[in-house]
Amino acid sequence: MALVGVLALQGSFNEHIAALRRLGVKGVEIRKPEQLETVASLIIPGGESTTMAKLAEYHNLFPALREFVKMGKPVWGTCAGLIFLANKATGQKIGGQELIGGLDCTVHRNFFGSQIRSFEAELAVPELAAKEGGPEVFRGVFIRAPAILDVGPEVKVLADYLVPSNEALDSNSAVEAQEENTGSEKKVIVAVRQRNLLATAFHPELTADTRWHSYFLKMATETGEEASSSIVAVGADLNLDQQPKIDLPIFQ
């Protein structure tokens, strides 16, 4: 059981740790660059992406996070975490935000609009079902969610979402989606994998279905990055320097 880091600057990191615990895996909160040396893989949770970026910059985390990605260690970004991993982001606030990069895609930060436009949808997930079993669909929870507008040749699409023609989107995101689709229906990508990187626009940690977490855990073995020094069972004591949690809005 590999020790998994969960970036704990802000957002739904507790929910990810709880999901890992249900799989018998220890998740540890990461707030400092040196703590990344103790983990074999990392989850970047959903949250308020601009706030998370400012906190990461304050703690000088970006250089260490980029090096973690370059080393080939598995990293999974959910919602705001997807934005962090993208090489390019549109629809950002004035001044933009710093990105980790590494994932060859363009993401629209608030594609589906404001929080009142949050929704749940059944997503076809054939690869997830083939590797983890269970139904061929996954109930995706989208909260002020981003969407992937395009991907590079090395990026594998794991799930997409057909936007209903009557669904109101942010005006800019609707225009960009129409430019990416030749038909009247708007299809956007909501889950991808590129080598050691996994990204979902939705929140698997807010459901009882742990298949995405199990899929991610197996990526450590597939990429050959699981180290014996990072094997910790649930309940083991960790002497990591913890900082107080920051009580800020959860979703990006």
Q: Which residues are annotated as a binding site for L-glutamine?
A: 47-49, 109, 143-144
Contact between 22 and 225 (Cβ < 8 Å)? no
Pairing type for strands 4-7 and 27-30 reads parallel
Point out the annotated binding site.
Answer: 47-49, 109, 143-144
User: What tokens appear for 8 in the block?
Assistant: 């704990």
Classify residue 114 by its DSSP letter.
Answer: S
> Does residue 102 come out as left (phi exceeding 0), alpha (psi in the -120 to 50 range) or beta?
left
Catalytic residue among 15, 205, 213, 226: 205
Catalytic residue among 15, 16, 29, 79: 79
What is the rounded CA–CA span in Å between residue 145 and residue 151?
A: 17
Count the neighbouring beta carbons within 10 Å of the beta carbon of residue 77.
27
Strand partners, 89: 107
Told to judge if 79 belongs to the known catalytic residues of this protein, a careful annotator would answer yes
Q: Cite the active site residues.
A: 79, 203, 205
